[in-house]
Every structure is written in structure tokens, then in C-alpha cells.
Structure 1
């Protein structure tokens, strides 16, 4: 075996390694592009949701929901979805005022709140 033959065999290993590295780079690039597309879709849906809520709620009611989001983000997300659905189906008077929202929140609280009593004997 000559020196040139050894050199060629060594280059084949390097090319395979470079091909593998390029494949890894391509997969990583595709993954990053997919993540960027998902994030763009999430932002687009959030913008549509905010626009719908601007049309459905008065500024005071939106402010109340924003304040409540700090404490109960899951509740606010679910409530916003319900309000949008109700408004689209015409089952609620639009715009929803702060007083209307308070009544809705009070109803939800009564339905979900559990009172615990501890008795000592």
C-alpha cells in the first residue's frame, strides 16, 4: 500500500464525517424553521384572540381580565375562549361591560368554589 492509497482512505472517512455533519446541520435547520413557524402561528392566533376580545369587551372588562390573569391565567384563558364563542353565537350581549364580567366571574366562583370546614372533636 502506498502513501497515496493511505491518504485516499483517510479522506473517505473525513468526507463521511462531513456528510454526517451536514445532515445534522440540515436537520437542526429544519427543526428551527418548524419551531419558528409554530411560534408565528401562536402569535397570529393570539393577535386574533386579542382583536376579538377588543370587540367583545369594554376597556374596563379587558383590564379586569388582565388583572385576573396574573392570579389565575388558566381561568382567564378558558373564560376568554368561552366569551368569544358566546359572542360569535349571539348568546351574550356585546359589548360585555365590567359589571357583566363581574356577574360572570361570580357565577363561575359559586360553581367552582368549595368551602372546607375543619371540626375538632
Structure 2
């Protein structure tokens, strides 16, 4: 943009920018709605395959480790849909699954010591 732009050109630039911002906002809104719908579907399936105690355990764990719980929820749904696990999944079974799932996802921590 130069100082020689006419007022009409400046208005056109502003209009294009506004349209672009509106488009981006609509895309973000659509993506959020899609994510919310996916989460609602996942929670509905989990209500069907988990006992209330197991759901409560997952909810509590989600406060501390949301990424772990999200991956676990997906795996539980897959196990239930393929018939690889008996439904409904009770709290004791969930604890066993959590122990196996957590041990397969070990994280390594590095300590630095400066002498």
C-alpha cells in the first residue's frame, strides 16, 4: 500500500480484510462445532460401555492427564466395538487396562546436574 492509494482503494482493502476475518471466524466456529459433536458422540459411547464407577475414574483422571485419557477413551471404544473386551467395563477392569496402558506409554525424564 502506498500513500497514493485512493479512498476507494483503501475501503476495498478494508472490506477484503473484514471478509477474510469473517471467513476465518466461521471456519473456527465450524471446527469447534465439529469437535464438540465428536466429543458428544464419544461420551455417549462411553456411557454405554463403562459402568458409572469406571466413568467417574476416567473423569477424575482426565483432570490430571487429559491427553492420556483421550487416547485411552479411543482405545476403549475400539476394544468394545471389536468385541475384544466384555461390556460394560467395570472399575476393576478399567484399573487393569489403565495399568497396562500407562506402562506402555512410559515417559522419560532427564535430570541435569551441574557440578
Q: TM-score, normalized by length of structure 1?
A: 0.79
Larger-Rg structure: 1
User: What residue is the counterpart of 2:34 in the other structure?
Assistant: 41
1:25 to 18, 23, 28: 18
1:14 to 7, 24, 37: 7
Deviation at 1:108, TM superposition (A): 2.8
1:102 to 87, 95, 107: 95
Deviation at 1:106, TM superposition (A): 2.2
The answer to whether residue 83 in structure 2 is matched with residue 82 in structure 1 is no
Please state whether the residue corresponding to 1:91 is helix, strand or coil. coil
Q: C-alpha offsets along residues 49-76 of structure 1, whole Å, 9 cap, x if unaligned?
A: 1001001101100000111112221111
1:34–1:13 Cα change, 3 Å: same
Please state whether the residue corresponding to 2:12 is helix, strand or coil. helix
Number of positions where the alignment pairs a residue of Structure 1 with one of Structure 2: 104
Q: Mind listing any 5+ residue stretches in structure 1 that lack a counterpart?
A: 1-9, 115-121
- Structure 1: which 4+ aligned runs deviate by more than 3 Å? 109-114
Write 1 or 2 for the structure with the bigger share of helix. Answer: 1
Q: TM-score, normalized by length of structure 2?
A: 0.83
In structure 2, distance between residues paired with 1:112 and 1:30: 40
In structure 1, distance between residues paired with 2:34 and 2:22: 18
